[in-house]
Structure 1
Amino acid sequence: MAHPSITCPECGRATDARYSSCLWCGAALPRSGGRVIEVIRGDRGGYLVINAIIVANVAYYLLSLLISSRTSLGGGLFGFLSPDDNSLALLGATGTYPVYRFGLWTLVSANYLHGGALHILFNMMALRQIGPWVCAEFGASRMFVIYTVSGIAGYLLSVLAGVPFTIGASAAVCGLIGALFYFGKSRGGNYGQAVSREVSGWLISLVVFGLIMPGINNWGHGGGIVGGIIAAKLLGYRERSRETALHHAAALFCLLLTVAVLAYGTWKGVLVLSYRNF
């Protein structure tokens, strides 16, 4: 669980803002600085956004199981509680065929669909770990914009690369990793270098995992990372600029787009259930 952080004025490292002194060098920290108040408020808003994303993912996953005509209970470790492809396509899986057949809205909806219990569990655990850090450095509004844009970018690249059928929140989560990588490189200093090193380890793990595990959408991961880097560069981060009304408006647009897309997919799912019960 991430805590409110503040940059130590002496050593330049990020430390826990709840303490009176730096946990790294022992230097006294400002107790009434606006930075501490701002980060604490941002963390509260960030957790609200992250929890809302998790709830939306879980609800959409349960809907895919509900309308699935065949729910797999086997199929290996990653096949447990897997909805069938028809239900995933109906709710907005993306790829070359879904985009050309159903439309660009699937580039958004695919980020909230998952192929099994472990698939959604791992993605949501990653979001729960990385999301608060991105919120602390960028703010909740910019975090949600990065998350949404990165997911779309990852799946758009997948379509251009010819991936036929794909789902999952990993492209959007990779975008958050890309944003942190940009932050570390842009900020510099001891803290920036520490962020870059840790995030570089994540990126290497993603590449290795994608090469050894079958069925991983590496195009989606790569597109999400690049999308996150570009979005972070365009939006900026807290140490350079506060969140503005434009950032909040962009986040609201992403929210309305996401709600509209998921509502459309849910409406289609409800029609299928109504037809079966008729």
Structure 2
Amino acid sequence: MSDNWQNDHGKEYIEGEYEVIEERDLHDNYGRHYSYRPEHAVSIDTRPPYVTYAILGINIIVYLLMNLFGLLFFLNQSQQLLIFGAKENTLIAYGQYWRLFTAMFLHIGIFHLFFNSYALYVYGPVVERLFGKVKFAAVYIISGLTGSLLSYMFSPNPAAGASGAIFGLMGALLYFRQRKRDIFYRIFGTQLIMIIAFNLFFGFVNAGIDNWGHIGGLIGGFLVGNAVGLYKEPVLEGRKILIWLLIVLIFALGLWYGHEKYVYKVKPYIPRSRDVIEADILESGFALKPDKWTVTGHLRLDSQSFNLV
């Protein structure tokens, strides 16, 4: 790395989960083998990770409010989750699409909240510095939505949790690996790949985990990472437009598929208004046992547990 580059750009560093890489570190480690190339350095957002902290705060506040609401109105956990916006396929199919968004801020018990909060605390600041605040927010929210969408499409169980969005952060880091492979392996080695593989395997062998939410979040994070690029990284307009169109197409097809799957799944189909269907489901929720779900009336879901996302 030339002295002129150092004078023009100053000292840049990237703070990761495991170590700090500085410009001189890049020079010392790579200078003997490589001439300077842009892929051997990265610009980061050096401001504190306020967006990560805000999301952590929102998750904790929502959890406390949900439990306080349950205590005041004598509601069990399933009822609390239903009212606060957990993913429930039939309600979504009948128009409550906002549940795809709200489900990512709900948690099923204190341990679920703790582990997701810890994962967000570990990976959130890294991704926020690599992508910047606005791009980080886009990665997190859209990954949470794609996680909820795949869960809606392929998992019959109600679900809640932030893991889809957190897997989206890992998906964004895979984009970082694609763009800055040398720096990626200096920060993470192979550990991040192993963590992703282990968690996906663990999700497949445990029935109470919504692995479709994880897979959807991972895909969403990688796609959004490609669409927005790293912090101060220019993204080709053509590529950006194509990726955003792909994301929109995925959501359109997913919502159509879910509507076809859940609205017309009972034969013979009896046409009923959306308000009547929603009232049946909401009313039946108050007769549920903790952690169980049964929908009565013309539409019926088997008794099942909430899935952790």
> What TM-score comes out, normalization by structure 2 length?
0.61
Aligned to 1:146: 139
- In structure 1, what is the Cα distance between the partners aligned to 2:162 and 2:129? 21
Stretches of structure 2 lacking an aligned partner (at least 5 in a row) = 1-10, 32-40, 236-309
Instruction: Kindly indicate whether residue 42 of structure 2 is the aligned counterpart of residue 39 of structure 1.
Output: no
Task: Find the counterpart in structure 1 of residue 104 from structure 2.
Answer: 111
How many percent identity over aligned positions?
29
Q: Higher relative contact order by CA 8 Å / sep ≥ 6: 1 or 2?
A: 2
Normalising by structure 1, what TM-score?
0.67
* 1:89/1:98 contact within 8 Å kept: no
1:66 paired residue number: 68
Amino acid at match of 1:6: Y
> Structure 1 pair 61/150, CA: closer, same or farther in 2 (3 Å)?
same
Q: Any idea what the Cα deviations from partners look like across 1:213-255, whole Å, max 9, x if unmatched?
A: 331000000000000000000011126339xxxxxxxxxxxxx
Consecutive unaligned residues of structure 1, counting only runs of 5 or more, are 8-13, 29-34, 73-81, 243-278
The CA deviation at 1:186 is 2.6
2:83 is aligned, of 80, 90, 101, to 90
Matched residue type, 2:140: Y
Kindly provide the CA deviation profile for residues 26-60 of structure 1, in whole angstroms up to 9, marking residues without a partner as x: 799xxxxxx9996323xx1xx21111101100111
Q: What code does the residue aligned with 1:205 have?
A: F
**Counterpart for residue 208 of structure 1:** 201
Q: How far off its partner does 1:121 sit?
A: 0.3
Amino acid at match of 1:40: T
Instruction: Specify the alignment match of 2:13 in structure 1.
Output: 6
Distance 1:5 1:158, change over 3 A: farther
1:183 to partner: Cα distance: 1.1
CA RMSD of aligned residues (A): 3.3
**1:187 corresponding residue in structure 2:** 180
AA in 2 matched with 1:15:
V
Residue 202 to residue 187, structure 1, CA distance change in 2 (3 Å): same
Q: Distance in 2 between matches of 1:153 and 1:209?
A: 20
Quote the Cα distance in structure 2 between the aligned partners of 1:100 and 1:36: 43
SS of equivalent residue, structure 2 residue 13: strand
Which structure has the larger Rg?
2
Is 2:20 the counterpart of 1:15? yes
Aligned to 2:262: none
Q: Deviations over 1:245-268 (max 9, x none)?
A: xxxxxxxxxxxxxxxxxxxxxxxx
Secondary structure of 2:151's counterpart equals: helix
Q: Is the 8 A contact 2:66 2:84 kept in 1?
A: yes
Structure 1's 200 and 239: CA in aligned 2 closer, same or farther, altered over 3 A? farther
**Structure-2 separation of matches of 1:86 and 1:240:** 45
Q: Relative to structure 1, is the Cα distance of residues 171 and 36 closer, same or farther in structure 2, using a 3 angstrom cutoff?
A: closer
* Contact 2:87/2:99, CA 8 A, preserved across alignment: yes
Residue 207 (structure 1) shift: 1.5
Alignment of 1:96-175 (within 5 A): 96-101=89-94, 103-175=96-168
